[in-house]
């Protein structure tokens, strides 16, 4: 029961923060959803740090890892929104913007996870 509550609390906080960032930044960029992009990249860095610290000599407990990775990062990152935004760009015929956003999200996201894992080693 405690683990369910930790995921619930972390997910709620992550979702709330995702909403604020996306609503604040997305309206300013017509063909690049900057808020969603930043949320996903920040989430990738965070999950890299969290899991890296968890694996590194058990610096985080199982409950802390669950709260932060499954809960917070799970609620914070937005793959379903990411997919919807890609679909909207495709249906609008914005192939160049679709390609730039898709490739940059994937490449920078993977690099951000690697950076987070690296950061967890030097902390």
What pLDDT, in 10s, does the model give residues 15-53? Answer: 999 999 999 999 998 889 999 999 999 999 999 999 999
pLDDT on residue 57: 78
Q: How many domains does the chain have?
A: 1
What are the angstrom distances between the C-alpha of 48 and each of 14, 45, 81, 108? 16, 5, 21, 13
Mean pLDDT of 68-97: 92
Only one residue has tokens 């995921």, namely 7
Q: Name the residue range of residue 36's domain.
A: 2-122
């Amino acid at each position: 029961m405690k683990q369910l509550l930790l995921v619930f609390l972390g997910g709620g906080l992550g979702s709330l923060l995702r909403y604020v960032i996306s609503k604040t930044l997305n309206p300013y960029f017509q063909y690049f959803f900057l808020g969603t992009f930043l949320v996903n990249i920040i989430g990738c860095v965070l999950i890299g740090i969290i899991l890296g610290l968890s694996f590194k000599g058990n610096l985080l407990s199982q409950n802390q890892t669950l709260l932060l990775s499954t809960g917070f990062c799970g609620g914070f990152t937005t793959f379903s929104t990411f997919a919807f935004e890609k679909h909207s760009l495709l249906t609008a015929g914005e192939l160049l913007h679709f390609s730039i956003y898709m490739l940059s999200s994937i490449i920078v996201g993977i690099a951000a996870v690697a950076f987070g894992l690296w950061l967890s080693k030097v902390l």
